[in-house]
Amino acid sequence: MTAVPVAAGPPVPTAARRSSDSFWHAAWYRYRQNRLALVAGVVAVFILLVGILAPWIAPHSDTATDLSSVLAGASWHHWLGTDQIGRDTLTRAIWGDRTSMTVAIGAPVVGLVIGLPLGILAGWWGGVFDWVTLRLYELFQMVPTILAALLFIIVFGVNVWKLALFIGITLWVGFSRLARAQYLALRERDFVHAARALGAPSWRITLVHILPNAVGPIIVFFVQQIPYVIFTAAGFSFLGLGIQDPLADWGKMINDSVTYLPIDALLVLVPIGCIGLACLSFSFLGDGLRDALDPTSR
Amino acid sequence: MSDQGQGPAVGVATKGPGGSGTPLLEIRDLSVSFPLERSTIHALQGLSLHVRAGERLGVVGESGSGKSVTAQSVMRMVPSPGRVTSGQILFEGHDILGLSSAAMHDVRGGQIGMIPQNPLSSLNPVITIESHFLEVLSLHLGLSKAQGRQRAVEALRSVGIPDPLTRIHEYPHRLSGGQRQRVIIALAMACQPRLLIADEPTTALDVTIQAQILELMDDLVASSNLGAVLITHNLGIVAGHCDRVVVMYAGRVMETATVFDLFDRPSHPYTVGLLRCVPRLTRTRSRVFETIPGLPPQVTTISTGCPFAPRCPRAADRCRTETPPLEPLAPAHLVACWDPVDQGAAVAK
Amino acid sequence: MTGPVAQSTNGPQAGGDRGPLLEVHDLVVHYHIRGPGKVVRSHETVHAVDGVSFSLGSHQTLGLVGESGCGKSTTGRTVLYLERPTSGTVRFEGRDLSSLRAGALKDLRRHMQIVFQDPVGALNPRHTVGQLIAEPLVLHNLVPRRQRRRRVEELLELVGLPADAVYRFPHEFSGGQCQRIGIARSLAVEPALVVLDEPVSALDVSVQAQILALLTDLQTRLGLSYLFIAHDLAVVGQMSDRVAVMYLGKIVELADRDPLYARPHHPYTQALFAAIPVPDPVASREKARVVVAGEVPSSLAPPPGCRFHTRCPLAQERCRSEEPLLRTVGDGHDVACHFAEEAVRADPFGTLVELRA
């Protein structure tokens, strides 16, 4: 018999190394290659930070009215001018960022919290539970999401958190489907069979083996919902069914200022620009994340 | 290189090793590399080989040997980011690397046919078999639909697909793996190319189907006097279905000879090791495992010295510092080794 | 050959006084798939495994060989109860697996393990090698936490990998190294039986030889039994004490390794031998080799009678209507063919003359 052959593998350093080439490392490396995604990421983070730090960085109080300078254009005192009752536009934009981001992040979180467990359980338990879940998908698909959210608003009233909740509820199906599909696909992989053969119980397989591998597409999906939520929330506010006074919100700003368009275009352009920038940056961020986390899906 | 192609001993019936004169395909000193994010893979380093009309050349190697890249280079289908960094590929005397895209389209399929590795994914699942043929035939031969259909039926018949008139209207998923590979062979042969390149054509198939396909390919090559390049890792296939052999390792040629010489008098330590490792059907169970220690290399640096040196039982200092050139040991038998195995004094297994 | 291998009959005495390590009786695995049809769904049945019986003693290797669709992989997985059989019994160490509750089955999993064909796919890409190999230790609480690292390093050494592989990820290793990791993982529980499902098919020839040498060495050192599943007769021939040839869900021939390779009786076995390309240019041109015609029928509708009759040059009326059962033609040599003796005499594929010593 021959002795156990030693495999001469790739050169290995003698010092102990921690996760040198983990999934996240490799993903970050790939992400860095994508200039657009990097820029988008920076902008997105910036937008989030503005929202978080709003109370400290806004130059004026968002409710203070200065009736002496109404519909003023840009000036040193008011960098982006004032609105029809003298509120500083920049301040309103910053506070609007805060409300928009709260909804934009909060809604997908709601969708994730409802959808992910349901999807995983549907895949895991299968049988009747899965059948019911699939019928639920179909049921909710029949309902136009925007109208559903509007209905909630009419019935339950609205504030920032409710808005996030109602829009979030309409997102659960997407998360659930994705989670279920990921679960079913990953369950058939050889390394899951191997874990079962080793005697791992189902809950451990789900938590330790399947979920970590499903995380990538779920993160991407999460980020991809953000532009949709921003736009939808802004739309609601524009229609007057979203955020109410005295809170600032980009959509509401557009609504409020559209009548003054001939006089002060800046008043309309600022919120539109904010919405556009936010949507685009999160959209490209989502694309960049998809390419980084799941390069095979390209 | 004016090698005369040595034939087998008298009395053993074979398919002839092929003609003489200018080679159909000649690769001279070809180097191909893949610049990646953090390193560069030097897939081919100074590869040279040739094939004549009527001759079957076997290209043998393991992973990382560069055998597939060789096939891709001839077809100028090296996947990005790979690129040819030096060398020439002459097809019937003309440098393929210098051809325009349009001219190359003509060559592909029309003059050089390729049989790719995986029959399951090489056919478009949403178009019928017939459409596959019509596309190729109209592109290269300008045939009308009716003529094309005729040719397609004949082609299917020639590769042994039963009931071709009905089969032609079917979609690829209705055919078995073996049948799909036959269709692919028929497609490659449809425009009567002069050179056929088969990249591991039977790896994905069962062994009984593999035998059928190899027999089919032998018949086709013999009857059309094609030149054929058969790329495989299976030494058994090479022994039974090739006239000459090139053994590749780490992007270079280690040894090339007629198939009889290679198996009878392997001279490169890698070839010797490989032949010893191959599991054989023996009457009694042999409990001895011959191995080549270590792993096939990741060719990320252009090495000085022989690429096989780390694993070679005969390696000397010279082997690690100087790259041995491919030199003739005997007529038509070239080896790239400073200390080739002397078969006269070879110790039996 | 000495030792347990000498007990070559099919019966239960191979391998020890408690009976054989593994006993499979009449194993049937059918899958129901939904056929086309919107309102009234037709059901079709895939006959993956259709009545397979064999036994395996300790320190023995049984080779299970056949082409795609023959059911060998399904058999391997079912033996471990990774899939439940449709019918039939699997007895491991004398205990009927179907009668065990989930907890008892999990405990028993310690004693029987599996190594997969795709070495890279069998490893969770997000776990380090250390985590991968330690998992069975954690699951079965075999080793206290403090000693786990040491045990993982022991296992790595056993399969010939460097100790600092523990920090690295599967994608940093080659196919052969990943297979070693998979083997190390399955050995962590100190099993008695290891099912090897095409363990070297995806590997280069030179690496293949290393892994086979490793497996053989481990078998001797650790007293393992192997169920070695492969499509390559040459590889199976190097590793097995006994060999079972499968075709379309059934065992068509079952014998000790040497008698089978010296004189295969079943026409399909002969066809398999004939189809294997021999690495010898003179020999492969000399013999009048006959290639078997046709393709494997679909397992949705296996042919009646003998399943090989559609491709068998010796097929007769009886073969089309009456299914042959396994019958003994020699010492421990069983064949499922009505005309096995005829097959040896006629040698329709030119197999029997060419096998070299």
pLDDT per position as a tens digit, A245-266: 778 888 888 888 888 888 878 8
pLDDT of residue C264: 92
* Domains observed in chain C: 58-81+99-111+191-245+254-346 (3.40.50.300)
Cis-peptide into A246, omega within 30 deg: yes
B96 shares its domain with B230: yes
pLDDT of residue B20: 54
pLDDT at B119 over 80: no
Q: For residue C239, give Cα distances in angstroms to A120, B289, C199.
A: 42, 10, 12
B160 shares its domain with B306: no
Question: Is residue B5 included in any domain, yes or no?
Answer: no
- Where is A94: in which H helix or E strand? helix A89-125
pLDDT of residue A295: 58
Chain B contact for C261 (CB, 8 A cutoff): yes
Most A-contacting residue of B80, B286, B295 (CB-CB within 10 A), to test interface:
B295
The 10s digit of each residue's pLDDT in C93-107 is 888 988 888 888 888
B145 shares its domain with B255: no
- Out of B144-148, B249-253, C350-354, least confident range: C350-354
* Domains observed in chain A: 24-297 (1.10.3720.10)
Interface of B with C in 100-119 (CB under 8 A): none
Long-range CB pairs of A39-46, under 8 A, 24+ apart, other chains included: A39/A284, A40/A280, A40/A281, A40/A282, A40/A283, A40/A284, A40/A285, A40/A288, A41/A281, A41/A285, A41/A288, A43/A277, A43/A281, A44/A278, A44/A281, A44/A282, A44/A285
Binning pLDDT at 50, 70 and 90, where does residue C14 land? very low
Nearest by Cα to A269 from A43, A63, A75, A81: A81
CA atoms within 13 A on the CB side of A106: 16
Question: Is residue B9 included in any domain, yes or no?
Answer: no
Strand order in the sheet with B56-60: B112-115, B195-199, B227-232, B56-60, B244-249, B252-258, B333-335, B327-330
Number of domains observed in the structure of chain B: 2
The 10s digit of each residue's pLDDT in C168-214 is 999 888 888 999 999 999 999 889 999 999 999 888 888 899 999 99
pLDDT at B269 over 90: yes
The 10s digit of each residue's pLDDT in A40-83 is 999 999 999 998 988 888 887 767 777 777 777 777 777 787 87
pLDDT at B317 over 50: yes
Question: Is residue B177 included in any domain, yes or no?
Answer: no
From B105, B136, B170, give the residue that closes a domain: B170
Question: Is residue B11 included in any domain, yes or no?
Answer: no
Question: Is residue B347 included in any domain, yes or no?
Answer: yes
From B103, B138, B170, give the residue that closes a domain: B170
Mean pLDDT score, C259-265:
92
pLDDT of residue A32: 84
* CB C51 within 8 Å of CB C250: yes
pLDDT of residue C35: 61
pLDDT of residue C353: 62
Nearest by Cα to A16 from C149, C167, C157, C173: C167
Binning pLDDT at 50, 70 and 90, where does residue C2 land? very low
Which residue in the set C204, C257, C274 is minimally distant from B63, CB to CB? C204
B121 shares its domain with B131: no
pLDDT of residue C37: 55
pLDDT of residue C350: 80
Contact B295 A8 (CB under 8 A): yes
Q: Which residues of A touch C201 (CB under 8 A)?
A: none
pLDDT of residue C11: 37
pLDDT of residue C42: 65
Count CB atoms within 10 A of the CB of residue B191: 18
Count CB atoms within 10 A of the CB of residue B150: 13
pLDDT of residue A110: 95
A147: which residues sit within 8 A by CB, 6+ positions away? Answer: none
Binning pLDDT at 50, 70 and 90, where does residue B14 land? very low
Question: Is residue B214 included in any domain, yes or no?
Answer: yes
Mean pLDDT score, B46-68:
91
Binning pLDDT at 50, 70 and 90, where does residue B320 land? confident
Average pLDDT, rounded, for chain B: 84
pLDDT of residue A259: 83
CATH value at residue B274:
3.40.50.300
Contact B283 C233 (CB under 8 A): no
Most A-contacting residue of C126, C139, C185 (CB-CB within 10 A), to test interface:
C126
Binning pLDDT at 50, 70 and 90, where does residue C357 land? very low
Regions of chain A short of the pLDDT cut 50: 1-19, 297-298
pLDDT at B38 over 70: yes
Per the structure block, which two tokens stand in for C294?
Answer: 């046709």
B270 shares its domain with B342: yes
pLDDT at C12 over 50: no
Question: Is residue B8 included in any domain, yes or no?
Answer: no
From B140, B170, B200, give the residue that closes a domain: B170
B344 shares its domain with B258: yes
B157 shares its domain with B259: no
Which residue in the set A2, A6, A29 is minimally distant from B289, CB to CB? A2
pLDDT of residue A276: 92
Q: Which residues of B touch A7 (CB under 8 A)?
A: 294-295
Question: Is residue B182 included in any domain, yes or no?
Answer: no
Backbone angles phi, psi at B248, to 5 degrees: -110, 150
B274 shares its domain with B159: no
Chain C contact for A11 (CB, 8 A cutoff): no
B69 shares its domain with B155: no
* CB C211 within 8 Å of CB C203: yes
SS (H, E, C) chain C: CCHHHHCCCCCCCCCCCCCCCEEEEEEEEEEEEECCCCCCCCEEEEEEEEEEEEEECCCCEEEEECCCCCCHHHHHHHHCCCCCCCEEEEEECCEEHHHCCHHHHHHHCCCEEEECCCCCCCCCCCCCHHHHHHHHHHHCCCCCHHHHHHHHHHHHHHCCCCHHHHHCCHHHCCHHHHHHHHHHHHHCCCCCEEEEECCCCCCCHHHHHHHHHHHHHHHHHHCCEEEEEECCHHHHHHHCCEEEEEECCEEEEEEEHHHHHHCCCCHHHHHHHHHCCCCCHHHHHHCCCCCCCCCCCCCCCCCCCCCCCCCCCCCCHHHHHCCCCCEEEECCEEECCCCHHHHHHHCCCCCCCCCEC
pLDDT of residue A111: 94
The 10s digit of each residue's pLDDT in B221-237 is 888 888 999 999 999 99
Backbone angles phi, psi at B56, to 5 degrees: -110, 115
B300 shares its domain with B333: yes
Mean pLDDT score, B135-139:
83
Q: Which residues of C touch A209 (CB under 8 A)?
A: 124
Domain containing residue B103: 24-125+187-349
B275 shares its domain with B315: yes
Q: Which residue has the higher pLDDT, A73 or C68?
A: C68
pLDDT of residue C25: 93
Contact A7 C114 (CB under 8 A): no
Nearest by Cα to C263 from C178, C182, C352: C352
SS (H, E, C) chain B: CCCCCCCCCCCCCCCCCCCCCCCCEEEEEEEEEEECCCCEEEEEEEEEEEECCCCEEEEECCCCCCHHHHHHHHCCCCCCCCEEEEEEEEECCEEHHHCCHHHHHHHHHHCEEEECCCCCCCCCCCCCHHHHHHHHHHHHHCCCHHHHHHHHHHHHHHCCCCCHHHHCCCCHHHCCHHHHHHHHHHHHHCCCCCEEEEECCCCCCCHHHHHHHHHHHHHHHHHHCCEEEEEECCHHHHHHHCCEEEEEECCEEEEEEEHHHHHHCCCCHHHHHHHHHCCCCECCCCCCCCCCCCCCCCCCCCCCCCCCHHHCCCCCHHHHHCCCCCEEEECCEEECCCCCCCHHHCCCC
> What is the distance in angstroms between the Cα of B51 and the nearest Cα belonging to chain C?
19
- How many beta-carbon pairs below 8 A join chains B and C? 159
Q: Which residue has the higher pLDDT, C298 or C185?
A: C185
B201 shares its domain with B322: yes
